[in-house]
Structure 1
């Protein structure tokens, strides 16, 4: 559990955040029974019940919701004071909690591995999910997403190459269907539809010469995970719309073929982002340094044309659905 000296308050906030004792206990690295005893002891001293408990769910009572709302800012201030003091330590240590999309996490893993190898006293708790969350409210130290969806009030550290989306289908599919030349042609094609974390169906986004187009294609299957979309596309079920990072291996192998390439301009790449606080914890600062060194090394290895392309202004954001 966090060594703040306010273990019971940390326990209450963790249970409220995770909506359950088991998940909160895992987050705080304590047993479920120990966590339950801490919350029960605080409730007993306060003379009020903070949580409704059933065998299937845990939810805040009205008093509990008010208590969490009042305590959270104060505890955040205390944590920051502790982090500021801890940041003076020369050796980074402790746990960094990072929220990321699955695709972003896969791309950043080499850097995270290098970071842990360089700083063996550090621990990473990486949580992947499609929805874009408020990392401060959810108790994360930082997030990793495409630059275009990073909240404006956050400090962003660029990482990785600029990225593009790609429309791809199998050779077998194109043996049976003419390749689309414009996004409008997709209306005559079977599309592998993508469901966003909100439950809405994602509209494919295109842009060329200042013209922006969104397509909600029809198809026989709707999925919410890139690897499943790739599998469906390889099987010839239709066209899918994913990042180049997801499809490059298939393009090189010839198992997928790309179309409408001139309608998918580049976007800024991934960023690590975190709240704009005056003092950054030593562990997070060490991760930022590792990311910057990695990005600089990639720039030094890149061809001249690629380096020049990276200096072009980024396209305006079209949709936050691309967070994953």
Structure 2
């Protein structure tokens, strides 16, 4: 097989997985027009339409579906064969694409990146931080990081450090007008920022002390999906915020925010680094896991 043939098949495989020329181009590090040209050349050479294209979507024809089904294991075997070459190198080689939550990204990887890249100079990390839940397979990521409760079936999950927890915080000016709550039940007398996923769905403030658990849904006028903005809003004195402890750490230490209900905020479930169980683990991903493993 010619190199051009393999390149065209790889371009088709990327488009078939992403259902997008743009995302396929981003994965392959080329332009969308280059990917489109490669796929068109492949279709011309085999004499069969493989993709249905519209201005809004890309889908596989029956022939394209059959071809992609047979190509996927083959490209997996090629990736495994190339990764096996790492045994002849002193350090892992290649790119690892990682998806993680924006709200806790700095606390999960901030202290890991420097030592990891220093120890593995041939390793390239591409990290995308978003609180939007994504399909890591469809989006072309090698692995993702999420709380255990958010993991999907068919994934291998590894606990990573550190284990984080939430904090309820308010400014001195806020507490000059409101009594500091001593139990979550007292929050009914307070104004709280509504925590929101990027999808717009709200999620409750969760508390636990011993065997008692309390779930509280604020009804305040402000809803935010960004913990940094929540801290800023709390600093302004408009409401209490329920944020990751690390996000407000310096403000609490400096006295610009007052923490309350500390004994009701135990560590959250572990964060996990997860990847498809059917995918062979690359040496690069293995190095990332070992650096972050709890």
* TM class, shorter-length: 0.7 to 0.9
Deviation at 1:72, TM superposition (A): 6.7
CA change 1:187–1:17 in 2 (3 A) is farther
State how far apart, in whole Å, the 2-side matches of 1:104 and 1:262 are.
22
With 221-230 and 3-12 compared, the bigger mean Cα shift is at 3-12
List runs of 5+ in structure 2 lacking aligned partners.
none
Matches within 5 A, 1:45-124: 45-48=46-49, 50-54=51-55, 57-60=56-59, 63=62, 66=65, 70-71=69-70, 73-75=72-74, 77-90=76-89, 91-107=91-107, 108-124=109-125
Count of residue pairs brought into register by the alignment: 289
| Whole-angstrom CA distance in 1 between matches of 2:215 and 2:250 | 26
Q: 1:137: Cα distance to partner?
A: 4.1
Aligned equivalents of 2:78 and 2:180: distance in 1? Answer: 56
- 1:279 & 1:52 partners in 2: Cα distance? 32
1:67 deviates by: 5.2
Please list the CA deviations of residues 50-76 of structure 1 after superposition, one character each: whole Å capped at 9, or x if unmatched: 14232xx33325548845862574255
Secondary structure of 2:256's partner?
coil
Residue 111 of structure 2 aligns to a residue whose secondary structure is: helix
TM-score norm. by structure 1 comes to 0.77
Deviates more, 1:28-37 or 1:18-27: 18-27
Tell me, in whole angstroms, the C-alpha distance in 1 between the residues paired with 2:211 and 2:75.
44
Q: What is the aligned partner in structure 2 of residue 298 from structure 1?
A: none
Query: What SS does the corresponding residue of 2:288 show, helix, strand or coil?
Result: helix
- Alpha carbons 1:104, 1:145 under 8 Å: kept: no
**Cα distance in structure 2, aligned partners of 1:239 and 1:16:** 46
Compared CA separation, residues 239 and 10, structure 1 to 2 (3 A): farther
Query: Which residue pairs with 1:195 in the alignment?
Result: 196
Structure-2-length-normalised TM-score: 0.84
* Structure 1 position 197, deviation (Å): 3.0
RMSD after superposition:
2.9
Q: Indicate conservation of the 8 Å contact 2:169/2:241, yes or no.
A: yes
Q: Map 1:258-269 onto structure 2 (within 5 A).
A: 258-269=259-270
Gaps of 5+ in 1: 296-324
C-alpha distance in 1 between matches for 2:37 and 2:234: 51
8 Å Cα contact 1:187/1:218 also seen in 2:
no
Residue 231 of structure 2 corresponds to 230
